[in-house]
Amino acid sequence: MFQGASALNLDAKGRMSVPAKHRDALLVQGEGRITLTKHPDGCLLLFPRPEWEAFRARVAQLPMDAHWWRRIFLGNAAEVDLDSAGRILVSPELRSAAGIEKEVMLLGMGSHLELWDAASYAAKEQAAIAQGMPEALKQFNF
């Protein structure tokens, strides 16, 4: 179960050090094998390999009218491995797609992680807060 937020920096080669709490889970769940892909909200999704395989199977079964979404998720998927220093390489194509340059936010989302450009994430979070709580959360007890 991935949760929590981590502010990180990519190095000059586009590598990101995965925080130890997530690194350990990625090693246990998928032997350090990770799949990155685009998300339509403007971030990247990071899946441990077993979670990716389940997600990929669900996407592959989408009806024909969702073929562009299959292209977005499956056509942009990149398999990466944690290196010996606990880093992953984020390809230039995926960095560009998410507007990622250096400062990023890594968010645990349960079964997977999201990787955001830090400034984009902060702006989208503030916009969501400004819109107010959605109806589904108004009955939620905190």
Q: Other CB atoms closer than 10 Å to residue 24's CB: what's the count?
A: 12
Report whether 113 contacts 107 (CB < 8 A): yes
Phi/psi-derived region of residue 31, left when phi > 0, alpha when psi is between -120 and 50, beta in every other case: left
Report pLDDT digits (tens) over 101-127.
999 999 999 999 999 999 999 999 999
Report pLDDT digits (tens) over 2-35.
999 999 999 999 999 999 999 999 998 888 999 9
Q: Other CB atoms closer than 10 Å to residue 3's CB: what's the count?
A: 11
